[in-house]
Chain A
Amino acid sequence: MMFSRRQALGLGAAAFLTGVFSGRNLVSAAEAGTLTIAYNVNLPSFDPTVGPSAVNPTIQAIYRSIFDQYVGQGPDLSFQPGLLTDWGWNEDKTKLWMDVREGVTWHDGSPFTPEDVVWSLTRAADEKTGNPAQFVWSTAGNYKIDGKRITGDVLRFEPTFFKWAAFLTGYVMPKAYYEKVGAEGFEKKPIGTGPYMVDAYEGNAFLRLKANPNYYGGKPAFDTVVFKFVPDGTSRVAELESGSSDITLEIPYDEFDRLKGTAGFAGVATPISDIGMLFINNIEVMLDKNVRLAAHHAIDKDAIVKRLLRGYGVPIDTLETPEYLAYDPSIKVGYDPEKAKSLLAASGYSPDKPAKFKIQTTRGLKPKDYEMVQAIVGMWRKVGIEAEIEVYEIAKHYELRAADQLAPAAFYNWGNAIGDPTTSTGFAMFGPSPHSVWNTDDLDNMIIPLWGEKDEDKRIAGWKAVSKYIAEQGYVIPLLQYAQPILYKSTLKVTPNVSGALQPTLVSPG
């Protein structure tokens, strides 16, 4: 049978279009044994210990799927055995020790050894490798291996050393494999000891993982996990509505409310270790304690959470949330506009003669960030504070904060997935920290002894005292603890993670 050129082209086109429109349901629900996550950020790099992505809290869910941390962490932020089964310091905190888990293998089948742990710790402590938490890892060294036990010298006592072992950059890397393939080879074909192994990766599109059958914690619930990188919130909602993905996170609260009750969907919104706050800079009118405290008392945080965030958030008065170690529920800075007015009056300010300053904020970086600041400025106006809003990008915030040039007030969000006071109040409020804004000797002198405090009870009590002092002085305005909306197919069972990391291991078929 002969075909003309035109007929042949026509048949070819028809076959192609048939392929496009049939053969399989393009947007069908995920196959059995596959979990597809519409994820909100891209994965820039596979190495969880170096570069900017290593300190991106959102990416940790992916890293925790492929790699294991020295110390594990439960969804309630509690610490649990990871690749280390036990750990601690000697009595006088001059030595540390770690017991390494046995019977673990890397994804390439080679055995995981204490040498991997020592190499990873030493590499992390080396400034040249670019580990962003090098300042923590460099506080210990001179490691020795004896069987499954590793001992090392404490070069400078860091009370949070083992907490960081479950935090950013606290991952064990494969010594032999990394030395063999190098940094570039590792990026192309990364291996870890984690519950899932990298199967395919398409930058800015998806990451496909397959279950690690030899995982020490047992075979994972899903054979395949796909992280689809969908940064646009509307598209993530559409991914779930169309059935293309099984679970998504960080979607607008109104969309979450709309869908969570509908047939086939379920939702959970748990408070996570991420807070919204107003940095106060020790400049201009903010040098006046009355203005600072009035600014805090004038804010109705309950109203902000209820009206702007549809109830998804928890008002807070310190930088410590209820899940954190140094949370002190007795520290309260109530909403009291009359008190705010009297404080301002004591300094000569009133609605007719307001205290004036600038407040900076991002717009759209966090849910309702700009709207929140607008509402706050409205509340302030009623008591005698006139604030001018300046919107900037987050990159500008970092630049100004590092140079200590932020406006008298600036909105920001602060995460602290290990719940230790040093990684919230400490770094946010200690003057010499590149991330702090308030910078005065009185506060710094309270904080300095706590950095290396060896008595844990005394250390936590000290941080609680710092939080109380900060609240009394009005050095920062904590606003709320965010709740993370997770929307998923009702056939799944999801355990929310207070750290905010949507780990596939916390999802199972219902």
Chain B
Amino acid sequence: MIAFSILKRLAMAAITLFGVAVIVFVLLRVVPGDPIAMMISPGASPESIAALRAQYGLDASLPMQFLVWLKAVATGDFGTSISLRRDVLGLLAERLPATLELAFAALVLAILLGGAVAVAGTLLRRTPGEPVLDTINGLFLAVPDFVWALALVLLLGVAFPVFPLSGRIDPVHQVDFATPFYLLESLLRLRFSTAADIAAHMVMPVLALGLPLAAIIARVLKGALMEAMVQDYILLARLKGMSSLRLVLQEALRNAIGPTIALTGVQFTFLIGGTVIVERIFAYPGIGNMAIDAVINRDLPLIQGLVLAFGALFILINLLVDMLVVAFNPRLRHG
């Protein structure tokens, strides 16, 4: 039953990706900005402009361009980036891990921080500490990731220069990684000083991405915990002499976590979207930063590849979230 459900979701994912491919292809051809117009040299003749257009396959009709592109994508050929002059799939494989490491670190931070604030808020309910915590959380909720990024640049980059401002690794390090997962690989190869340097470079972007999500998690989880705390089974557990902290962590949390997981999944996709600006501000070499350059340069093959990568990532995250929700809620396994 579960296997069938997963297969059904995978089939839906393929259809969704196809839809994304169609939309992005059409949109890119409709929005202003001809990539060839940006490459024309001053003395170019109409013939050489036409040759340039043909070289990038932009001389055929739109349906034909789409078919050629789709056929190539189906065989794993995402084309060659116009601006970077490298195959798009290779670029994605190189840069996506940087974004994934950043995004997952931000997610872990958000879950830990948001969870802790939610538990603290629940424990402090009906005390003077509750509105204080709610107000602080509200402030964190109101500040978007890019504002956090700029504030962190000024605070931890300039005023108290503790963390590096830009990049993924200090240029003094040898970039001789076997995989593009620098942090993971450094830890696995026990290169702790390199791992520490990579982690230090991640601190500010992770904070910028993770703090708004932490505030959302805190608010939603606290609401669910408060609801759970007035249920009969909690009352029973309390009568058995269980401490407040154990009540929240062992009894209420298990029942309250379902909606939070679903919401975190949705918000995580927004967090990945937020990497575009945050990576730019911190000059972090992920796909978000690369996406901005691709758009500025009207690098159509790269933009198409990036959007498909983002689309696939969002679909995968939603699939995982659905599975997690089912795992945490046995009632949904047979529904």
A interface vs B, CB < 8 Å? 15-16, 19-21, 23, 26-27, 31, 36, 38, 42, 44-45, 47, 50-53, 55, 127, 130, 132-136, 183-184, 187, 200-206, 208, 226, 228-232, 234-235, 238-239, 241-244, 392-396, 398-399, 401-403, 423, 426-427, 433-435
Contact = CB atoms under 8 A, between A and B. Distances in A.
Interface in B56-96: 82-86, 94-95
Interface in B285-300: 285-286, 289-290, 292-293, 296-298
B199 to A, nearest CB: 5
Contacts of B199: 16, 19-20
Contact of A206 (B41, B153, B167): B167
A16 B196 contact: yes
B82 A52 contact: yes
Contacts of B162: 21, 26-27
Contact of B171 (A21, A226, A232, A239): A226
Given A44-B85, A395-B33, A203 B166 contact: no
Given A52-B83, A235-B153, A427-B42, A402 B37 contact: yes
Contacts of B39: 51-52, 55, 132
B296 A205 contact: no
Interface string B156-184: 01100111111111111011000000000
B40 A435 contact: yes
B218 interface: no
A204 B285 contact: yes
Contact of B37 (A130, A232, A235, A401): A401
A398 B34 contact: yes
Contact of B41 (A31, A132, A399): A132
Contact of A399 (B34, B52, B170, B200): B34
Interface stretch (B43-51, B103-111, B254-262, B323-331): B43-51
A202 B290 CA distance: 12
A238 B151 CA distance: 11
Contacts, number: 194
Contact of B43 (A23, A47, A206, A427): A427
Given A44-B293, A45-B85, A434 B161 contact: no
B154 A134 contact: no
Nearest to A43: B84
B285 A399 contact: no
Contacts of A231: 280, 283, 292
Contact of A235 (B84, B195, B283): B283
Interface string B24-44: 000000001111111111111
Nearest to A31: B172
Contacts of B35: 395
Interface of B: 32-45, 48-49, 51-52, 55, 82-86, 94-95, 150, 153-154, 157-158, 161-172, 174-175, 192-193, 195-197, 199-200, 203, 280-286, 289-290, 292-293, 296-298
Contacts of A206: 167, 171
A59 to B, nearest CB: 11
Contacts of B84: 44-45, 203
A395 B300 CA distance: 12
Given A26-B161, A134-B41, A392-B32, 9 more contacts: A45-B85, A52-B297, A127-B48, A135-B43, A204-B290, A232-B280, A402-B34, A402-B36, A427-B42
Given A19-B196, A228-B167, A238-B157, A133 B285 contact: no
A398 B161 contact: no
A394 to B, nearest CB: 8
Nearest to A239: B165
10 contacts: A202-B171, A234-B153, A234-B281, A242-B165, A396-B32, A398-B37, A399-B37, A401-B37, A435-B40, A435-B42
B284 A205 contact: yes
A298 B289 CA distance: 42
B233 to A, nearest CB: 30
Given A20-B200, A130-B55, A235-B166, A395 B38 contact: yes
A395 B298 contact: yes
Closest 5 CB pairs of A and B: A395-B33, A19-B196, A135-B43, A427-B42, A204-B285
A438 to B, nearest CB: 15
Contacts of B283: 204-205, 228-232, 235
B165 A238 contact: yes
B171 A200 contact: yes
A232 B293 CA distance: 12
B285 A238 contact: no
A45 B85 CA distance: 7
A135 B172 contact: no
A50 B85 CA distance: 9
A136 B167 contact: no
A234 B280 CA distance: 11
A244 B201 CA distance: 12
B32 A19 contact: no
B38 A52 contact: yes
Contact of A203 (B171, B281, B285): B285
B168 A205 contact: yes
Given A16-B192, A202-B285, A234 B150 contact: yes
Contacts of A238: 153-154, 157-158, 165
Contacts of A36: 171
A27 B292 CA distance: 27
Given A27-B164, A395-B296, A396-B33, A203 B196 contact: no
Given A200-B171, A206-B171, A234-B153, A51 B158 contact: no
A183 B84 CA distance: 12
A187 B290 CA distance: 18
Given A31-B172, A205-B283, A238-B153, A44 B83 contact: yes
Nearest to A184: B86
B193 A19 contact: yes
B298 A228 contact: no
Given A52-B297, A135-B43, A235 B290 contact: no
Given A27-B164, A52-B297, A395-B296, A433 B38 contact: no
